[in-house]
Structure 1
Amino acid sequence: MGLRTKIGLAIAGTAAVVSVVMGLLVHHRTVEAQYASARSQIGDRLQTAVQDHAAGVDGDRTLIDPPDLPKPLAEAVQQGKWGVYLDHGPKVPQIWAASKYGKEVVALKRPYQREAETVRDLDRVLWLAGGFGTGLACVAGLVVATRLGRRLKVKAGAAQRIAEGDLTARLPLRGKDEITQLAAAVNTMADALAGRLQAEREVTANIAHELRTPVAGMVAASGLLREGRAEELVRGSVRRLSELVDDVIEVARLDTATQEVRTEVCELGSLVRRSVAGVAGAGEGVPEGGPEGVTVRVVRDVRVETDPRRVERIVANLVSNALRHGRAPVSVEVDGGVVRVRDCGSGFPEALLSGGPQRFRTKGGERGVGLGLGLTIVQGQARVLGAGVRFANEPGAGAGGALVEVDLRGAVVGEG
């Protein structure tokens, strides 16, 4: 149930309760006033009737020892009291008044139907007025709730864009109520977050660029070493360091507002095969001479209009990540415009599935295994291409393994 519905129901319910309470109060006050007036009138007439009876003059409406005198009133009169009693009766309500005179009972009665009809008419008017008022309250509640819901929906959309990485989005500020105060607080938070992220990106990019020159020198120097175990360790470590610096620079470039995309039409199956073949020697966990344990299967090939360099980067990073942090065999599947990469490892952690990949955090969250930039680059490159990326774990008992789907169906231009 949405907030708009809740507000509308709350206003309508409050109006209905107020209408019922007011109706009950008016009803009871009217009944009490009518009975008090009738009691006073018939009491005065009873005193006159008793005096006339004592003088030997009885009126047409004076009753002497009436046999149908209501029992409660008869008991009160026998105790020497006079009283008034409202007998609702099976047909027409009657109001009685009786008093004892000597051994006789002098009584009066008259129909109480007019008062009863007045109350019924009043109740009918109260029900109509209450229903009409409740209906108006429902309409007013829906109008207020709709306006409030629209304001909250607009602000929620802007907040969602901020959460998705659009730090230029801001919540509109209109009015001076609590919603506007909340929107202003969110805008202030977004400004502070954007400033901190920008500072972080600038520091990261500057560090990466500063490291590039010494790393290039280390690569050149490692080529002068004599062949042997020490030379292999140094060259492997230097190569890995060079890749990490390149990854940090690429992440910094992906953070910029504009990205150049050079599109061309190509077959997705061939593009994926070329990407997987290029993983050879890509780093730790990928053996020299080819990506052993990696299979490519093309279920349905298509032609896509996209930036092949970025697609190759996405596929290569996914395969390298699966070999480094998962477990072979790794399968790459092309089905229409969807590319799926599976491994047989322990799968993605819940933090990654719920919040997506985060830089400087590896797939399993281990320290010392990497900077965790591979999946971050995949997500950034896919965002530049307008492609979707889904991270999941293989379902089923004992299935295990991580699954990544890259959706390029928006770039499909024909069958392969």
Structure 2
Amino acid sequence: MGLRTRIALVTSTTVVVAAVLLGAVVHARTADDQARRAAQAAEAELLRALDDHTAGVDTGLLVNTPELPVPLRDTVERHPVRATYLQLRPPSGPPQMWAATRVGGDVVAVRQSYAAQTRTLRGLDRILIGAGALVGALGCLVGVGTAVAIGRRVTDSTRTAQRIAEGDLGARITPKGTDEIARLGRAVNTMADALAERLESERRVTADIAHELRTPVAGLVAAAELLPPGRPTELVRQGVGRLRHTVEDVLEVARLDVPGLERTSLEEMLLGDIARRAASPWPNVEVRVVRDVVVRTDPRRVERIVTNLITNAHRHGAPPVVLDVNGTCLRVRDHGPGFPEHLLAHGPVRFRTGAADGGGTGTGLGLGLTIVAGQAKVLGVRVRHENTASGGASVTVDFGAVRDGVTQPERTQDASTAD
């Protein structure tokens, strides 16, 4: 049950219950006041009848009448008092108010019709029911309106917070008023400001470090090329090469972190051709094109995505590595241990690799998948990480997210292997 429904139900229920209780109180107080006045009138009539009876005037005083209600008869026979009794359901006729007392050995009484009071009370009940229904309906409308207004504000705040969580650090909530929801919106804005400042500081530090390292790394590469041939030289060149690639990756991540900095150069190409070209440096990667389509995208960025996925599959997975193209979906999968649960739940985390977890983790968790996610965001495509039922990690890049950039299928062909 959503917040809007709860607020509407609570408000409506409160109004209805209040209307019912108020109507019950008004009914009870009116009924008591009518009975008290009728009893006083009956008792006064009894006294006048007794005076007239003593004077020898016949006033219709009832003496030892069998119609006298039993509770009233018992009361006046046991105690020498005047008493009244409201008989709402007599054997015949309308309700009656009785007044009786004992005179010598006789019980004398008078009675008055209570029909007028009953009709008045029923009319009041009809008015109370109508008013209660009207108030209840208005209360329901007010409750629904209040719930919709509050729900809309909460929904807007939730959407903005979700946009911030998805990386739109410029999104902000517009607080209205000074209530709790407005204070929550201001707190979310403050959090977003602090988060944006921290991420920008982190990006600047990362970019500055990478820029500072480029010059000495370039010098190391040049110096390594001048070393005499031999095994030590090969090890130095491999280490320097990995260092250079790491620095370039860090710079690329820093650029991808800046919204609007990266620009795309769109072309219309067969997705299968892009996949084959990207996989060509790896002769042991099997490329399977089930259904090829023309996509309007940036081939260089797509090749960068495929290169990183294949590299991570070789580094952290196990052969065979397969690159599938089926329509607008491009998938790289290996047959290693698969992705850990935290990656499947939260996505790739930069600078966190399989070695940090004490073993291989499929297609890797370092900068490779972080760059894939950044490039995919620039292209506007979806990336999905999963573990296959037969074992291994699988990363699917879906170009169907940008439907305006996909034309009709060009051709269907059998699986092929990259040369």
TM-score of the two chains, using structure 1 as the length reference: 0.90
Note if contact 1:348-1:363 (Cα within 8 Å) is conserved in structure 2: no
1:122 CA drift (Å): 0.9
Does residue 44 of structure 2 align to residue 44 of structure 1? yes
| One of 369, 373, 379 as aligned partner of 2:373 | 379
Q: Which amino acid aligns with 1:353?
A: L
SS class of match (2:100): strand
CA distance in 1, matches of 2:46, 2:232: 128
What corresponds to 2:385 in structure 1? 391
What corresponds to 1:403 in structure 2? 394
1:91-117 deviation digits (Å, cap 9, x = unpaired): 532221111111111011122222122
CA distance in 2, matches of 1:364, 1:13: 59
1:337 CA drift (Å): 0.6
1:132 CA drift (Å): 0.5
1:51 CA drift (Å): 2.9
1:367 CA drift (Å): 7.4
Does residue 268 of structure 2 align to residue 271 of structure 1? no
CA distance in 1, matches of 2:181, 2:382: 33
1:79 CA drift (Å): 0.4
Aligned residues: 400
CA distance in 2, matches of 1:364, 1:389: 23
Q: Which amino acid aligns with 1:162?
A: I
CA distance in 2, matches of 1:231, 1:265: 44
What corresponds to 1:188 in structure 2? 190
What corresponds to 1:69 in structure 2? 68
Q: Which amino acid aligns with 1:130?
A: G
Does residue 112 of structure 2 align to residue 110 of structure 1? yes
What corresponds to 1:284 in structure 2? none
What corresponds to 2:102 in structure 1? 100
Alignment of 1:82-93 (within 5 A): 82-89=82-89, 92-93=94-95
1:360-385 deviation digits (Å, cap 9, x = unpaired): 12257537998711111001101111
CA distance in 2, matches of 1:107, 1:241: 116
What corresponds to 1:413 in structure 2? 407
CA distance in 1, matches of 2:236, 2:41: 117
Alignment of 1:5-404 (within 5 A): 5-60=5-60, 62-80=61-79, 81-89=81-89, 92-258=94-260, 259-278=262-281, 280=282, 290=283, 292=284, 294-362=285-353, 365-366=356-357, 372-394=366-388, 396=389, 399-404=390-395
Note if contact 2:62-2:110 (Cα within 8 Å) is conserved in structure 1: yes
Note if contact 1:155-1:171 (Cα within 8 Å) is conserved in structure 2: yes
CA distance in 1, matches of 2:59, 2:348: 102
Note if contact 1:49-1:106 (Cα within 8 Å) is conserved in structure 2: no
1:23-76 deviation digits (Å, cap 9, x = unpaired): 11101101111111111111111122223333333312x211111211111111
Note if contact 2:349-2:365 (Cα within 8 Å) is conserved in structure 1: no
Identity of aligned residues (%): 51
| Unaligned residue ranges in structure 2 (runs of 5+) | 411-419
Q: Which amino acid aligns with 2:70?
A: K
1:16 CA drift (Å): 0.5
1:150 CA drift (Å): 2.3
Q: Which amino acid aligns with 1:83?
A: A
1:346 CA drift (Å): 2.8
CA distance in 1, matches of 2:122, 2:347: 68
1:168 CA drift (Å): 1.3
1:227 CA drift (Å): 4.1
Note if contact 1:331-1:341 (Cα within 8 Å) is conserved in structure 2: yes
**Range with greater deviation from structure 2 (29-38 or 4-13):** 4-13
SS class of match (2:351): coil
Note if contact 2:348-2:365 (Cα within 8 Å) is conserved in structure 1: no
SS class of match (1:361): coil
SS class of match (2:44): helix
Note if contact 1:171-1:183 (Cα within 8 Å) is conserved in structure 2: yes
| Structure 1 runs of 4+ with >4 Å offset | 367-371
Q: Which amino acid aligns with 1:314?
A: I
SS class of match (2:357): coil
Q: Which amino acid aligns with 1:141?
A: G
Note if contact 1:349-1:364 (Cα within 8 Å) is conserved in structure 2: no
Q: Which amino acid aligns with 1:360?
A: F
CA distance in 2, matches of 1:213, 1:408: 38
Cα RMSD for the two superposed structures: 2.1
**Range with greater deviation from structure 2 (142-151 or 253-262):** 142-151
Q: Which amino acid aligns with 2:266?
A: T
CA distance in 2, matches of 1:41, 1:341: 99
CA 1:375 to 1:339, structure 2 compared with 1: closer, same or farther past 3 Å? same
**Range with greater deviation from structure 2 (166-175 or 48-57):** 48-57
CA distance in 2, matches of 1:364, 1:113: 94
CA distance in 1, matches of 2:71, 2:27: 26
CA distance in 1, matches of 2:327, 2:157: 37
Note if contact 1:304-1:414 (Cα within 8 Å) is conserved in structure 2: no
